Structure 1
């Protein structure tokens, strides 16, 4: 006598299994439709412009006439372009002058904020305020601060018996002025990030260190810095990406000394960063094809230095 166990499996099971993906998509289509605007906007304003910029870098185009095929000739010229290499050197020097003091000051500020008891939120707001202030407004103020005749910096130098310095008319003065502006702008922002990282360190670790006789300096270098390494890596990468793309700071700060497009970046192009050079080639010279090639060169430089920074921090962590 046949039982229920002897019956073969129903054929409906295989067909239903094959139809599950379709039923799943039909079931959740409204969820895909809800998130589709982001991907459509990213496609229209992200991927398509990036692809077009690479296509444009292979052509010569003034923005009005027809495109002329150039192949890789513009990239070959980019490798021998002394102005482009000069802009890379300026950008790296300004980045170094701004980033390392900024990270040091941000870490010290975060430690002080973490140990503060009263008015902690007021201090956070005060330190974060420069980051949300318009870069143009900040650059105008710093242009007055570093003015040769009436600047605050030269007034302080004269007060201690040092001669005036033409900050915005000398190569190193320009770089120091731009780096100081960037340091002032980003110190508070990174201090808030460091503060968030400090608050994730358990207080029991510090209590155990104090019981073992560790002082504040030993605690900072033996506990705080090792446990803050992921946050430090994040800040370093973000600072590298933003620092190597500096544009508004030199553009506004040096506008009075760079009235001519061939004089962009101040005397001797000392403040001409990579993005400022890209802007000059694209919109001042109307060479959109070569400007796109410069943009891809900037992208490659940013990627290389981000990887180098990441590897250096990771290697120190392994050691």
Structure 2
């Protein structure tokens, strides 16, 4: 009795099966690799324009490196020691923290309040939102020149107004605290509107059920803002605080153009760390090694303060957010 062998598949069906299997394997690899390919341009650009300069600056900071003669011998941490030994460094550090506190803290608070007002039912919302963002698109040099004239010591508009109400003229370019206040006013003018729109976008994403539950509980608008809106802005507040910290500690344009000389005042009373870095690298010293050391000191300061801000804001906002969610659940059950 003859044994019948199974029929062989046609060549076309074999090729079709192989093609399907190959497409399936390609599909698996595409699912695994495509997300990384989509985000790879950012990391490639970051490695070229961000990571490499950061590492190279660390190399420059441990060498003698003059603007004209180039790289010299290896000196280790001597550039850092030289920087710490200069009185202008400590002045610039004091000025940077002072201007940072006078600008960042009011900036975040005012931005949250303005965002709440823009989120309310007001007329011409688009007009007011564009008006809030307008200072951000103005060139920082133009803002610095305008405010430098407004805060002029002798013929400034601010002192003229103060004179009408019987207040002695303020020496905006001579007194330390007055100059810091004037520069922080410029920073707040430029960046408050930008942060306002960030907070506004976050407020519009807050679930309206939370406000309805708060209204049922008898909460007014102020209570809703404090107990519902603020806790729901947890991630946004952390983001704005960290970005404001990074930008505030690197402030350069406003103090640079606040005075025509651009040196931070006669006694360096408003010279910031970035201005001190510029003065060391391209000023009288022309020492790139010390300038790179200042850059790394500033980088470490930003990292430390940013982490402190992150942990503090996370702890505060998480506790407030948990309380608000628990209260909202309780109110929703009561409403049912």
Match of 1:274 in 2: 273
Provide, for residues 48-103 of structure 1, a one-character-per-residue CA deviation record: whole Å limited to 9, x for no partner: 32222111111112123242221121123334443222212111111110111111
Match of 1:8 in 2: none
Task: Select the structure of larger CA radius of gyration.
Answer: 2
- CA distance in 2 between counterparts of 1:160 and 1:24 reads 74
Match of 2:81 in 1: 76
Provide, for residues 3-46 of structure 1, a one-character-per-residue CA deviation record: whole Å limited to 9, x for no partner: x9xxxxxxxxxxx99xx79x959xx89x95x9776555444433
Q: Give the TM-score taking structure 1 as reference length.
A: 0.85
User: Residue 154 and residue 270 in structure 1: after superposition, are their counterparts in 2 closer, same or farther (change >3 A)?
Assistant: same
Are 1:45 and 2:44 an aligned pair? no
- CA distance in 1 between counterparts of 2:224 and 2:39 reads 46
- CA distance in 2 between counterparts of 1:191 and 1:79 reads 38
Give the deviation of 1:294 after TM superposition: 0.5
Provide, for residues 285-312 of structure 1, a one-character-per-residue CA deviation record: whole Å limited to 9, x for no partner: 2100110010000000111110011111
Provide, for residues 228-280 of structure 1, a one-character-per-residue CA deviation record: whole Å limited to 9, x for no partner: 12111111011000000000110011234x5xxxxx21132111111111111
- CA distance in 1 between counterparts of 2:105 and 2:139 reads 23
- CA distance in 1 between counterparts of 2:50 and 2:210 reads 45
Provide, for residues 169-226 of structure 1, a one-character-per-residue CA deviation record: whole Å limited to 9, x for no partner: 2111110111110011111000000100110112222122112211122111111111
Contact 1:129 1:188 in 2 (8 A): yes
Contact 1:171 1:267 in 2 (8 A): no
Provide, for residues 124-148 of structure 1, a one-character-per-residue CA deviation record: whole Å limited to 9, x for no partner: 1111111111000000000111012
- CA distance in 2 between counterparts of 1:35 and 1:246 reads 30
Match of 2:286 in 1: 286
Are 1:59 and 2:63 an aligned pair? yes
Of 117, 125, 130, the match for 1:120 = 125
Corresponding residue pairs, total:
295
Of 237, 240, 246, the match for 1:241 = 246
User: Residue 190 and residue 117 in structure 1: after superposition, are their counterparts in 2 closer, same or farther (change >3 A)?
Assistant: same
5+ residue gaps, structure 1: 5-15, 259-263
5+ residue gaps, structure 2: 7-20, 320-336
- CA distance in 2 between counterparts of 1:292 and 1:85 reads 17
Contact 1:74 1:293 in 2 (8 A): yes
- CA distance in 1 between counterparts of 2:121 and 2:144 reads 31
Are 1:301 and 2:304 an aligned pair? no
Larger mean CA deviation between 38-47 and 147-156 belongs to 38-47
Q: SS of the counterpart of 1:61?
A: strand
